[in-house]
Structure 1
């Protein structure tokens, strides 16, 4: 057993996956997941999320690199790994004529040391629906049943593939609470999701995949901080961009102009906003539609989705994309 199991229950090093015809879906990625944390794997369509998770689950052999789950190769040592992990797939494929309780009992019969089915149904809020046939469940309720069966074996590592797809806001919130409770109890969770709010709220750390490589990794705050904040406003008709003060000094690193609307990008939001507002007050200028906001995980994700990432791993503590335009140089332009 790997001595690092006590610190990192998932270790991925230069992992690669190649499909027939030579298509390389996973192109040498490296990351690790610590015991008792929630790690989110995000990515654009075709980025390699599912291909990566299938390798972690031991469903295929890597074309190259190394993967360890709980200190073992999940493909070659499947018997040592499988009883200790839980997997929630995007679709469970349960027999439609069975009731919720019957489905839970059936799956419990396939799991060593399974917890009582009623207990897991209560965990996911399905105990009142125990007598309902699977075919009569809503899409969100089926997702809860997927989660219940993944929890039957008291897993040390839990793989959640799009866990809240089909859930309403209340159901999504309840699932988030379940995931937090599992993490607090020591379960390591790796999830994929298309809901960036979900990743930002749940994940201790995350990685964003793009074209089979990791484009950004770190805590949600670190990944977000790699993007500039923004200030947007609309100038009065008798004022122009050239009338603004030299805001490059308080940290404005770029801008965009669309008619009367101006959007500034800055890595020092408080200084830039204070400088702008001080100028407006002194000049007696009303900045209409003023909007001041920090960067978001969504903005970081969209920047990568546009192809801004260079294909290599970018630690969020490092620099993000270069800003090519200079605010000071463009101040002479008339809005």
Structure 2
């Protein structure tokens, strides 16, 4: 039997939208239906480049397109809420780029809107759909490395970025935390859940966004997590999950891994490899399609509750480090 089609719309035409659109070609049943941009010229060029059937010169027109089933929202952070809500009100399923919104209040309103309209909604935390990450959670659940005692993860970009860059613009949700810190935080949340306590520190740019941030989390069961994110220094961008019976090491690019190493006492290190084509966005697109075709309003791999819990953590950290958008 042929795979049923899911008609995709892409909202915005920047770099991440282009990577996602390219990976859609790897997803069976994905139909490139329409693209929307604030510029008709940009929408037309994007549609021609990737093979979308229609181009809309506004986000509103895409949200109203009756021949679109689900929309990927790829705008800067500060525009996520309005763009996603417009699509939800247009009856579309929505995959909204991380972070789902700028704060918990907006995220809760978006979830409520999707539930009221009975349409699919998922935050695009692609790391959670990655095959290597899913294998890691399976190993952890099976007790392969025993009780998890600690997680260490870092994500830093080289920089420095000029003052006008979006990563330094508080109006766009700039700073290291929402762009980069969400990955270490999501990894920890995936393995250990929500922490009992959080302690954070950051150095801020003159614009008031965090450029170098450290987060320490403590969990009720005694586990700890130490995380950093930065836009002024390229770190290892790696992660380690340590347990009483072994350790799992994720190499550089831990947020989109193609392999990891399992080390246990008395045994040779074991490397698990998961080669794949494309950039890795196809896995979240495939999960969206599975849910939409099954009539599921949310994904068990990235449920609404997870997005809300992580956004609550981000709000807590921002409060501690003194960042406001």
Q: Fold match, TM over 0.5? A: no
Q: TM-score range by the shorter chain?
A: under 0.3
Query: Given the two structures, how large is their TM-score scaled by the length of structure 2?
Result: 0.26
Which structure: larger Rg?
Answer: 1
Normalised TM-score (structure 1): 0.26
